[in-house]
């Protein structure tokens, strides 16, 4: 059921009336207690524009700029790398002397292997078995699981099972390292065994679990055709991504091993620098795959997303060069600067892409749901439109908030827009406060629309609320939600509601002077809605036409005839006249079909023919039986009337008359019954001599 959108004038009148009533109830006693003597005139709260608004805005912008500069200075401070040229010389010397130290290293490894003991040997054996399983036995296990889940596959919807089995593959891929890490944690908790190699083993198990999970996730998402990604682009990205992930994991493992053997700090810093530099170079191989990376991005039919995609395609290589440059800056010690740059570029782009994909998926689910409904399901169409509007509002709001937060602009924008522009009594209004109030009011508008649509679609039909009562409830709910939203907005603004009494008084004067007709229509509208004299869906008579009530707003009533002619009648005019409502309490209407037959006919046969014609007509109601009345003896015919019942909401009176007249004519013709028409006989009398005209005397 689609409600009319309130006009600006209706919204203003209604909300101000509600505010005035609220203020009279809540502020009346306070005003009575603090009232001044009658001899002193009441002071009107001043409403004025803020002075020196431009100067205040300029000063605030200057302060924000200085804070930006103060926060930006530490970003360009370089963190020491932790090594120098002496470290490089010592590493070179150690590398040259490494062949001479091989026997010592072998002896050290043998000594450490003797220290393994039973517990260490079992751990190493389990580790080797798990590695063997992950390399050779995982596929067989997945095949067995797939055969076991074959009955479940038949019960699942066709589009769900591929996702379910992909999640199962990801879980199986990371299950063994996770179990081994659990066993390692138990041994670590209940055993005092602390060999030098013991701690790196646990770290490697965690690294293995993360790597298995990440690699399987990349494989399933890029190569299994689960998502709408071209297979050529997906496989190309997966091959490069697998190399990058394995190299990063290997680099982390090497660094952890170096830490476990307690190498000098400057050597660890040098190793970290070299590994970071190599990782940046390896990532460059992935970033250079422009066609593949752009090919895996989804194609979404939204102007903002398409503009984002075109910009990324046009400036792809400069963006990737800057990204690689920030990676090099990270390696040489500018970590803070790189984190800020990545947050304000790639994090913003990723958040925008993720939000748009979620919006697209939800929009697709909504379209699939509405496609299963019939076009005539007005409640479902209205619910779909309300959900779409609310979803669009939430998406835009989330994108703005997340983007501004990642860019670090919420605080500065709030400060720049918080300069006073208007002063109402003791309340100072700023552009930021007004914007926040507008967001709150819009949220109430969309939530109100969604709530009314949900009630129409789900609640009212389940509890048997008729269409007219549902419309009245929704009308009240709509204006109440708007009024509450306005009050919340004013609360967010911090405005004293007693100030609005001035506007309420001005509105009363305006109604008394020049808006009598508008006020009369509003009063009549409330009477129609709450008195339920005319409801949406009723069929009433307007002039000589019967029309269906489409909307009952507070100012006018909109009706549409079966010929698709719309009437907009002011509520005051409608209530001032007699309202012929065919469906106020019962939609069944009896119509009279006059039929005249010749005096040569038998009345009982005519009665049977008329009842048979009514019985074979499917447009008539089965709740009440048709009748035939013998009305009169006419001048040239015996006059009968066929009385039938129709549901005026479903059937047109003129259509039923036409159908019955066709059927009655054919039936009377087959029965040989004449339908007379008025006749006049002219008799000419002969032998009458007309007197001759006397001739004039000569």
Rounded Cα distance between 413 and 411, Å, is: 6
The structure tokens listed for 366 are 């909504």
The structure tokens listed for 257 are 């091993």
pLDDT-derived band at 358 (thresholds 50, 70, 90) equals: very high
Our CA angle for 443, 444, 446, nearest 5°, is: 65
Residue (of 29, 28, 22) closest to 486 by Cα position? 22
Question: What is the percent of the chain where pLDDT is above 90?
Answer: 14
Do 519 and 527 meet the contact criterion of CB atoms below 8 Å apart? Answer: no
Q: Is 151 exposed, middle or buried (0-12, 13-18, 19+ CB in 10 A)?
A: exposed
Count the neighbouring beta carbons within 10 Å of the beta carbon of residue 137.
13
Bridge partners (DSSP) of residue 48 are 423
Check residue 581 and give its pLDDT.
85
How far out from the chain centre does Cα 479 lie? Answer: 22
Do 205 and 141 meet the contact criterion of CB atoms below 8 Å apart? Answer: no
Cα–Cα distances (Å) from 231 to 163, 218, 228, 296, in that order, read: 17, 13, 9, 9
Q: Which residue has the higher pLDDT, 145 or 648?
A: 648
Residue (of 601, 609, 593, 596) closest to 678 by Cα position? 596
Res 554 pLDDT > 60? yes
Check residue 23 and give its pLDDT.
44
Res 583 pLDDT > 90? no
Rounded Cα distance between 503 and 45, Å, is: 12
**Averaged pLDDT for residues 356-377:** 84
Q: CA torsion, points 429, 432, 434, 439, in degrees to nearest 10?
A: -160
Check residue 191 and give its pLDDT.
65
Q: CA torsion, points 304, 309, 314, 316, in degrees to nearest 10?
A: 130
Cα–Cα distances (Å) from 379 to 293, 453, 457, 474, 636, in that order, read: 43, 7, 5, 13, 55
Rounded Cα distance between 393 and 103, Å, is: 71
- Sketch out the chain's domains with CATH numbers: 85-89+112-332 (no CATH), 515-585 (2.30.30.60), 588-671 (3.30.70.100)
pTM, two decimals, is: 0.66
Do 285 and 239 meet the contact criterion of CB atoms below 8 Å apart? Answer: no
Q: Out of 310-314, 487-491, 583-587, pick the least confident.
A: 487-491
Q: CA torsion, points 391, 397, 399, 401, in degrees to nearest 10?
A: -150
Rounded Cα distance between 416 and 430, Å, is: 10
Check residue 121 and give its pLDDT.
59
Grouping H, G, I as helix, E, B as strand and the rest as coil, residue 637 is coil
**Averaged pLDDT for residues 50-77:** 71
Check residue 137 and give its pLDDT.
63
Check residue 127 and give its pLDDT.
63
Do 305 and 356 meet the contact criterion of CB atoms below 8 Å apart? Answer: yes
Give buried/exposed letters for 51-68 (b at 16+ CB in 10 A, else e).
Answer: eeeeebbeebeeebeeee
Specify the DSSP class assigned to residue 345: I
Do 217 and 168 meet the contact criterion of CB atoms below 8 Å apart? Answer: no
Q: Which residue has the higher pLDDT, 148 or 303?
A: 303
Contacts 24+ apart (CB under 8 A), 63-71: 63/415, 64/412, 64/415, 64/416, 67/412, 68/412
How far out from the chain centre does Cα 205 lie? Answer: 43
Do 228 and 159 meet the contact criterion of CB atoms below 8 Å apart? Answer: no
Rounded Cα distance between 698 and 183, Å, is: 158
Residue (of 200, 281, 270) closest to 243 by Cα position? 281
**Averaged pLDDT for residues 9-20:** 46
Res 628 pLDDT > 90? yes
Between strands 556-561 and 566-570, the pairing is antiparallel
Between strands 539-542 and 427-430, the pairing is unpaired
Q: What pLDDT, in 10s, does the model give residues 182-211?
A: 777 777 777 665 566 666 777 777 888 888
The structure tokens listed for 67 are 């804070």
Do 440 and 485 meet the contact criterion of CB atoms below 8 Å apart? Answer: yes
**258 CB-near residues (< 8 Å, 6+ apart):** 267, 268, 271
The structure tokens listed for 662 are 């066709």
Check residue 49 and give its pLDDT.
54
**210 CB-near residues (< 8 Å, 6+ apart):** 249
Q: Out of 131-135, 255-259, 381-385, 541-545, pick the least confident.
A: 131-135
pLDDT-derived band at 552 (thresholds 50, 70, 90) equals: confident
Check residue 351 and give its pLDDT.
92
The structure tokens listed for 487 are 């009050």
Helix (H) or strand (E) holding 416: helix 410-416
Q: What pLDDT, in 10s, does the model give residues 640-681?
A: 999 999 988 888 888 999 999 999 999 998 988 888 876 666
Cα–Cα distances (Å) from 367 to 281, 381, 449, in that order, read: 45, 10, 19
Rounded Cα distance between 684 and 325, Å, is: 122
The structure tokens listed for 270 are 């040098």
**290 CB-near residues (< 8 Å, 6+ apart):** 316, 317, 320
**503 CB-near residues (< 8 Å, 6+ apart):** 16
Rounded Cα distance between 150 and 152, Å, is: 5
Q: What pLDDT, in 10s, does the model give residues 436-471?
A: 888 888 988 899 899 988 988 888 888 766 666 677
Question: What is the percent of the chain where pLDDT is above 70?
Answer: 74
The structure tokens listed for 560 are 């549409």
Rounded Cα distance between 438 and 153, Å, is: 50
Do 524 and 551 meet the contact criterion of CB atoms below 8 Å apart? Answer: no
Rounded Cα distance between 355 and 304, Å, is: 12
**68 CB-near residues (< 8 Å, 6+ apart):** 412
**Averaged pLDDT for residues 32-49:** 45
Grouping H, G, I as helix, E, B as strand and the rest as coil, residue 36 is coil
Our CA angle for 127, 132, 135, nearest 5°, is: 125
């Amino acid at each position: 059921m689609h409600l009319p959108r309130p006009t600006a004038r209706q919204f203003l009148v209604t909300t101000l009336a509600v505010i005035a009533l609220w203020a009279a109830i809540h502020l009346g006693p306070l005003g009575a207690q603090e009232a001044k003597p009658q001899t002193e005139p009441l002071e009107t709260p001043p409403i004025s524009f803020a002075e020196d608004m431009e100067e205040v805005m300029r000063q605030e912008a200057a302060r924000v700029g200085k804070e930006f500069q103060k926060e930006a200075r530490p970003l360009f401070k370089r963190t020491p790398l932790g090594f120098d040229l002496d470290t490089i010389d010592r590493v070179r010397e150690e590398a040259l002397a490494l062949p001479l130290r091989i026997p010592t290293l072998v002896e050290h490894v043998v000594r450490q292997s003797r220290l393994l003991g039973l517990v260490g040997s079992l751990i190493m054996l389990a580790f080797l078995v798990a590695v063997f399983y992950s390399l050779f036995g995982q596929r067989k296990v997945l095949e067995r699981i797939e055969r076991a889940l074959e009955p479940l596959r038949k019960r699942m919807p066709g589009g769900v099972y591929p996702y379910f089995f992909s999640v199962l593959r990801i879980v199986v891929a990371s299950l063994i390292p996770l179990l081994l890490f659990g066993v390692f944690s138990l041994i670590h908790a209940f055993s005092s065994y602390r060999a030098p190699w013991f701690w790196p083993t646990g770290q490697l198990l965690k690294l293995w679990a993360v790597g298995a999970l990440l690699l399987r996730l990349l494989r399933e998402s890029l190569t299994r055709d689960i998502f709408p990604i071209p297979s050529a682009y997906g496989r190309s990205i997966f091959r490069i991504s697998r190399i990058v992930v394995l190299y990063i994991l290997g680099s982390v493992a090497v660094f952890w091993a170096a830490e476990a053997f307690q190498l000098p700090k400057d050597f660890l810093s040098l190793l970290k620098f070299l590994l970071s530099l190599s990782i940046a170079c390896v990532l460059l191989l992935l970033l250079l795959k422009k066609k593949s990376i752009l090919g895996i991005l989804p194609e979404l039919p939204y102007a903002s997303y398409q503009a984002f995609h075109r910009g990324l395609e046009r400036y792809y290589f400069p963006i990737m060069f800057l990204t690689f440059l920030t990676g090099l800056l990270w390696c040489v010690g500018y970590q803070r600067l790189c984190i800020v740059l990545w947050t304000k570029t790639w994090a913003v782009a990723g958040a925008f892409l993720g939000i748009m994909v979620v919006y697209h998926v939800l929009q697709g689910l909504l379209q699939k749901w509405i496609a299963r409904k019939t076009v005539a399901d007005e409640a479902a169409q209205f619910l779909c439109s309300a959900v779409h509007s609310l979803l669009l509002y939430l998406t835009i709001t989330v994108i703005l908030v997340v983007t501004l937060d990642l860019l670090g602009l919420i605080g500065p924008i709030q400060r720049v827009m918080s300069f006073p522009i208007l002063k109402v009594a003791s309340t100072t209004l700023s552009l930021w406060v007004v914007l926040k109030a507008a967001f709150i009011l819009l949220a109430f508008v969309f939530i109100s629309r969604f709530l009314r649509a949900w009630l129409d679609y789900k609640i009212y039909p389940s509890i048997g609320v008729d269409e007219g009562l549902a419309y009245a409830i929704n009308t009240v709910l709509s204006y109440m939600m708007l009024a509450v939203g306005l009050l919340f907005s004013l609360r967010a603004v911090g405005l004293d509601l007693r100030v609005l009494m001035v506007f309420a008084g001005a509105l009363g004067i305006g109604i008394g002077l020049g808006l009598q007709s508008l006020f009369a229509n509003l009063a009549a509208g409330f009477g129609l809605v709450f008195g339920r004299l005319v409801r949406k869906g009723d069929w009433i008579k307007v002039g000589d036409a019967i029309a269906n009530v489409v909307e009952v707003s507070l100012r006018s009533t909109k009706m549409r005839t079966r010929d698709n002619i719309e009437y907009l009648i002011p509520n005051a005019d409608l209530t001032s006249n007699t309202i012929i409502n065919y469906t106020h309490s019962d939609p069944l209407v009896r119509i009279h079909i006059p039929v005249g037959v010749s005096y040569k006919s038998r009345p009982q046969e005519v009665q049977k023919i008329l009842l048979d014609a009514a019985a074979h007509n499917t447009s008539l109601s089965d709740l009440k039986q048709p009748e035939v009345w013998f009305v009169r003896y006419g001048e040239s015919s015996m006059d009968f009337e066929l009385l039938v019942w129709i549901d005026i909401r479903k059937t047109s009176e003129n259509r039923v008359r036409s159908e019955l007249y066709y059927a009655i004519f054919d039936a009377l013709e087959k029965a040989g019954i004449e339908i007379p028409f008025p006749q006049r006989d002219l008799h000419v009398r002969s032998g009458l001599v007309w007197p001759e005209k006397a001739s004039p005397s000569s």
